[in-house]
């Protein structure tokens, strides 16, 4: 499929290159909770998913808190072994504060086995970015726990999510199916 090259003009929104604005809540969707037979496709622009991600009955999306200012999404092109292959490595890093039972329980249950989709919300621009796609799921690449040996040092967990996929991250415009009575760890 050949797509005609198009101009990429300077953004017209104020401070388009400015960082920050990411909501301190990341949305996670487990692989086993998604109805993959109805997973929405990208629109003709190749980057927008306008339809809702359908979940299995009784399943919900879940939030993972990360400290504001520590959330760092990344995207880079992967060079393939030849000019006809390649993809994108999309990551998300952030810090969860404290070393408490709830987070240790979460790490015990999902630290090795989480595979699914991640949605990053940007409050400033009211956009949601989706990482992961069918057959190329997000997993937890790293969890680093620091003790905070001094009062001004981090005490908690740095989580690193990673996905290698065929397309860049998508803009998700569908609904968020959050649990109205979310279970809490601890």
DSSP codes, 23-63: EEEEEEEEGGGB-GGGPPPP-TTSSEE-SPPPB-TT--BEE
- Return the pLDDT at 2: 52
109: enclosing H helix or E strand: helix 101-110
> What is the torsion angle, in degrees rounded to the nearest 10, for the CA atoms of residue 179, residue 157, residue 97 and residue 138?
-30
pLDDT band at 180 (very low <50, low <70, confident <90, very high): confident
- Residue of higher predicted confidence among 186 and 89: 89
pTM: 0.86
Q: Label the pairing between strands 86-97 and 156-165.
A: antiparallel
pLDDT tens column, 110-151: 989 899 999 998 877 788 999 999 999 999 999 999 987 887
pLDDT tens column, 17-46: 555 666 667 899 999 999 999 999 999 999
- Return the pLDDT at 29: 95
Domain limits, the chain: 22-172
Portion of the chain with pLDDT greater than 90, in percent: 56
**Is 30 in contact with 113 (CB distance < 8 Å)?**
no
- Return the pLDDT at 12: 63
The residue-averaged pLDDT of 96-104 equals 89
The residue-averaged pLDDT of 152-168 equals 92
């Amino acid at each position: 499929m050949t797509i005609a090259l198009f101009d990429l003009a300077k953004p017209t929104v104020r401070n388009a290159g400015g960082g920050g604005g990411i909501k301190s809540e990341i949305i996670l969707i487990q692989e086993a909770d998604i109805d993959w037979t109805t997973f929405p496709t990208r629109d003709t622009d190749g980057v927008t998913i306008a339809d809702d991600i359908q979940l299995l009955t009784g399943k919900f999306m879940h939030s993972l808190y990360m400290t504001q200012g520590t959330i760092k999404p990344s995207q880079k092109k992967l060079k393939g072994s030849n000019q006809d292959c390649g993809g994108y490595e999309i990551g998300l890093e952030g810090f969860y504060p404290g070393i408490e039972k709830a987070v240790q329980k979460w790490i015990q249950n999902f630290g090795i086995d989480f595979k699914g989709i991640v949605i990053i919300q940007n409050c400033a621009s009211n956009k949601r970015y989706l990482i992961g796609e069918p057959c190329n799921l997000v997993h937890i690449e790293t969890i680093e726990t620091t003790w905070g040996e001094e009062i001004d040092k981090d005490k908690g967990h740095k989580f690193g999510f990673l996905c290698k996929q065929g397309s860049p991250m998508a803009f998700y415009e569908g609904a968020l199916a959050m649990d109205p009575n979310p279970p809490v760890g601890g």
